[in-house]
Amino acid sequence: MSWTKEKALGQIREIGLVPIVRAPSAEDALLAAEAIIAGGIGILEVTMTVPHALQVMEKVADKFGDKVLLGAGTILDTETGRAALLAGAQFIVTPALNLHVIELARRYSIPCMPGALTPTEVVTAWQAGADMVKIFPCGPVGGAKYIKALKGPFPQIEMLPTGGVNLETTPDFIKAGAAAVAVGGELVDLKSLREHKFDAIAATARLYVEAVRAARASLVK
């Protein structure tokens, strides 16, 4: 399956989870990516803060191909965004609102989840063409309650909370109206990485998938 924009967004909506790979080395990042995929999540985001992040993306893309929807995170400018797309990224995530990056993603028909926090930033991102808006950092400003508050006036905007997402809060975010959640260190645990406990990461990945599924099921009862 080749990842069209519609299929990529459909995959994110269906699984409801975007694992974020931040690791101290390229080797750890590759192992974390394999563990996430082994855990049944065919999506992952490699941040540009990973050493040699572009090479990591290239290796993941080469090894797994269309079996994984590969994203590039912490994209701060169009030059980095373009390099990530050439390395195999199929969607772009930013920590802050950069309208030029959204424009780049639209030009190449790639999903873009720009970072925003305030209502004004959220609407600005959506009007500029964001496919989902990454609400970051969500935890410090109220977590799921903040998502629920934003969804009141903006029910049409799909939101991806980041920051403060863990196994305990994931169901609350989904019930509050999040289209999906993005989770980093709570899933790709640095201690597990350093101890090469990749089975633990895969097991945790499965728990997140089930948490999203159960939360959605409770909404349709």
Reported as a single tens digit per residue, the pLDDT across 160-213 is: 999 999 999 999 999 999 999 999 999 988 888 888 888 999 999 999 999 999
Quote the pLDDT of residue 142.
97
Reported as a single tens digit per residue, the pLDDT across 114-173 is: 999 999 999 999 999 999 999 999 999 999 999 999 999 999 999 999 999 999 999 999
Q: What is the 3-state secondary structure (H, E, C) of the chain?
A: CCCCHHHHHHHHHHHCEEEEECCCCHHHHHHHHHHHHHCCCCEEEEECCCCCHHHHHHHHHHHHHHHCEEEEECCCCHHHHHHHHHCCCCEEECCCCCHHHHHHHHHCCCCEECEECCHHHHHHHHHHCCCCEEECCCHHHCCHHHHHHHHCCCCCCCEEEECCCCCCCHHHHHHHCCCCEEECCCCCCHHHHHCCCHHHHHHHHHHHHHHHHHHHHHHCC
Domain limits, the chain: 5-219
Quote the pLDDT of residue 196.
84
Band of residue 64 on the pLDDT scale cut at 50, 70, 90: very high
Is pLDDT of 221 > 80? no
CATH topology of domain 5-219: TIM Barrel (3.20.20)
Band of residue 95 on the pLDDT scale cut at 50, 70, 90: very high
Tokens 């508050």 correspond to 149
Dist CA 156 CA 79 (whole Å): 30
The residues carrying an active-site annotation are 45, 134
